[in-house]
Structure 1
């Protein structure tokens, strides 16, 4: 079964201390949990086996002319002028930067499958199993797991490569919601399994 790692919204705006959102404190959570380092190890293991690594970010044109949500979270981004395509916020940290030839999907919604080519790309590349890492757990990770499951994909969620600003909410989602749509595991277990497949 062909697997792909999907790295969700682990972009500078959210997880870097200079990010317009991350600077409010979430970058500390990401740093303390070593999310970037753990996710990078998984990405390297996938690359070593020529398995796809896919990056997803949130990005809007200047002026938010392509924005679709009417909810307050988007108004909050607009106030900060955050997540503008081509600026620092939509990039990825150097330790987790996409390699040449790796797909980067820029979305305008929580769900990375909505109005993007992600599902078609996975199907064209014969991917049957997606492994998820990213922020926030209760938003993009949850949404991706649900849509992936609805699309007939096998879904695994790396709990230790995901986080939310409210880590109690992260734990609740991982314990009570995500197991309905996939297998909740961790990077150590996955890397051990990959090693056995080598």
Structure 2
């Protein structure tokens, strides 16, 4: 069995909690309706049961956004609301998905978790051959992670019902038309059935 890591992408309070500066605008409702947190937690538990690494990825900036890179409007919206500041509630994870001692936590300042981070080096250190992806947003961090993983020669699996975007049509287009070009797209149940059957 190839060495596998589970990447939990941007499932942080700012985006998915009703008190988050982004989540409070409605996205948390979609996350709740899709049961993303319990479904991802179930995969996390299955991975841990076979000692597969669990890696948490988050977006976080220093106060004043002195380390920000992008000049696009999406970052301007974050700055206007003071979102994603390191050390604050928004860059932490929900209790159901909190990192455990020994877990890797990668903080990024861009859409891709590989840009200007040590993520790829960590995967190489642990001899990872396959990455399994879950998180938000489907058309942004999940997409960019799948593309880099595929370009790097990794096997990539995307759990379609463990991902979401604010626009459901954009999410569906991503999992139906785009992500299959860079990954194996499957459901949480299909993945767990296969994973749990492996020795």
Please give the range of the TM-score, normalised by the shorter of the 2 chains.
over 0.9
CA distance in 1, matches of 2:188, 2:115: 27
Alpha-carbon distance in structure 1 between the residues aligned to 2:195 and 2:5: 12
Deviations 1:110-155 (A, max 9, x none): 0000000000100110000000000000000000000010111000
Identify the residue that residue 85 of structure 1 maps to in structure 2.
Answer: 86
What residue number does 1:50 align with? 51
How many residue pairs match? The answer is 198
Q: What SS does the aligned partner of 2:131 have?
A: strand
User: Partner of 1:139 in structure 2?
Assistant: 140
> What is the deviation of 1:41?
0.3
| Alignment partners' CA distance in 1, 2:168 and 2:132 | 21
Whole-Å separation in 1 of the counterparts to 2:101 and 2:136 = 23
1:41-73 Cα shifts (integer Å, max 9, x gaps): 000000010000000000000000000000000
Report whether the alignment pairs 1:108 with 2:109: yes
- Runs of 4 or more above 3 Å deviation: none
**Structure 1: gaps (5+ residues):** none
Structure 2 counterpart of 1:70: 71
TM-score normalized with structure 1 length: 0.99
Distance 1:185 1:99 in 2: 26
Are 1:127 and 2:128 an aligned pair? yes
Shift of 1:186: 1.0
Query: Which position in structure 2 is the counterpart of 1:189?
Result: 190
d(CA) in 2 for partners of 1:102, 1:160: 24
Root-mean-square deviation over aligned CA pairs: 0.5
Superposition deviation, residue 12 in structure 1: 0.2
Please state whether the residue corresponding to 2:5 is helix, strand or coil: strand
Q: CA deviation at 1:194?
A: 1.1
**Structure 2 stretches lacking a partner, 5+ long:** none
- What secondary structure does 1:31 align onto? helix
Following superposition, the deviation at residue 195 of structure 1 comes to 1.4
Distance 1:161 1:97 in 2: 16
